[in-house]
Amino acid sequence: MMLMHFCISLSCPAQSYYFYDDRHYERPVLIEIGGKTGVMNALTDIGGKAGAGKKGLRDLNLSFSRPCFSFFSTIIYQNKIGIRIQYSNGSVLAADSILKNQRTSTHGRYERNLSFRSPVRELALLLELRPFSFIHTDEPAGGFAPVLVGGIGIFSFDPQAKWQGNWYALQPLRTEGQGFTAFPERKPYRLTQRNFLMGLELNYEVNAWLNGRFGVIHRFLQTDYLDDVSLDSYVDPVLFARELPASKAGLARKLADRRAEIDPLHTTNITYQRGNPADHDAYLSLELGLALVIGRSRR
């Protein structure tokens, strides 16, 4: 009986690979708890780079990057696959005024003169895959390793615009006629929605207890109203007074079409292009973080 107990005791750590010169072993399931900080940016109808507006990351203007942070907890099985819960908090913004020096090539985007900012709060459920662990199962742990990330989340936003020194929420102003009787097909957009996440991170094992993280996660949205701009035309200004309370109508009219701030002779032309409903908005974050590893023990 004593011999059997001795053999079983020896076999336990043998079932886990040793870590850092045989000084540590780990359980099949590890837990990471950590935080990250970095920058967040968005791809919307507003701002961007010179030209008519490019698709995807080619139109990303890095000058609009703003600080963000996140907290996460991950359950990892055999260093191959993980399930992560992550909370992120940041903000996004953009302005057509950034295109002033390129205005001759922006096809009216600078003259449109729209701008916005929005807080972003997100709770996501993510799947992690560590491809090198599937390929090189017998190599020692440590160093750098890529991590593929994908999942689904719930995020909240609240686009705002600045007028005469004050910030105003745009969603209640119905700047594109959402909820107007004249446009029964235009429904007010929700400020809490679902998104899909995809990214690539680089994991660095500092030691047996700490992991570093660096990577980018892109969010694909099901809304085009992160910046409160979507439709390819303007609302007739007279409709704001007809459809909104007097306390909102005047402000909505000013913030729906801001061309007059550049050209005082401008009057709203509903045929001018305001946005592009063909492409949904998106946002992304680039972050660096550190995580505590639970589940490793000294030999």
Based on its alpha-carbon atoms, the radius of gyration of the chain, rounded to whole angstroms, reads 25
The predicted structure's pLDDT at residue 8: 39
Neighbour tally for 145: CB within 10 Å: 19
Instruction: Please tell me the distance from the alpha carbon of residue 9 to that of residue 299, in angstroms, as a whole number.
Output: 12
Mean pLDDT of 67-89: 96
Query: CA 236 to CA 268: how far, in whole Å?
Result: 7
Q: What pLDDT band is residue 165 in, cutting at 50, 70 and 90?
A: very high
Q: How far is CA 14 from the centre of its chain?
A: 42
Q: What is the pLDDT of residue 30?
A: 93
Q: Which one is the CATH code of 28-298: 2.40.160.20, 3.40.50.300, 3.60.110.10, 3.90.870.10?
A: 2.40.160.20
- Taking the C-alpha atoms of residue 80 and residue 25, their distance in angstroms, rounded to an integer, is 16
What pLDDT sits at residue 125?
98
Structure tokens at 30: 């590890």
Whether the CB-CB separation of 29 and 283 falls below 8 Å is answered with no
Q: What percent of the chain has pLDDT above 90?
A: 74
The pLDDT tens digits for 259-272 are 999 999 999 999 99
**DSSP assignments along 171-189, one per residue:** GGGTTT-TT-TT-TT-PPP
Mean pLDDT, rounded, for 167-180: 98
| pLDDT confidence bin for 59, thresholds 50/70/90 | confident
Question: Which token pair is 195?
Answer: 């998104």
Res 5: pLDDT: 45
| pLDDT score for 22 | 66
Confidence band of 224 (pLDDT split at 50, 70, 90): very high
Looking at residue 108, its pLDDT comes to 85
CA dihedral 187, 190, 191, 192 (to 10 degrees): -160
Contact (Cβ atoms closer than 8 angstroms) between residue 131 and residue 149? no
Kindly state the tokens that stand for 140.
């020692």
Q: What is the pTM of this model?
A: 0.89
Taking residues 26-47, what's their average pLDDT? Answer: 95
Q: Are 16 and 27 in contact (CB under 8 A)?
A: yes
Q: How many CB atoms lie under 10 A from the CB of residue 288?
A: 12
Cα–Cα distance for residue pair 221/230, rounded to 1 Å: 13
Both structure tokens of 110: 């600078």
Q: Mind giving me the DSSP string for 195-253?
A: EEEEEEEEEEE-SSSEEEEEEEEEEEES-S-TTS---SSPPPTHHHHHHS-HHHHHHHH
Q: What is the mean pLDDT of residues 2-26?
A: 50
Distance between CA atoms of residues 92 and 40, nearest Å: 7
**200 close to 284: Cβ distance less than 8 angstroms:** no
231 close to 223: Cβ distance less than 8 angstroms: no
Chain length of the chain: 299
Q: Token pair of 21, please?
A: 């010169």
The band of 287, judged by pLDDT with boundaries at 50, 70 and 90, is: very high
Measured CA to CA, the distance from residue 164 to residue 251 in angstroms comes to: 11
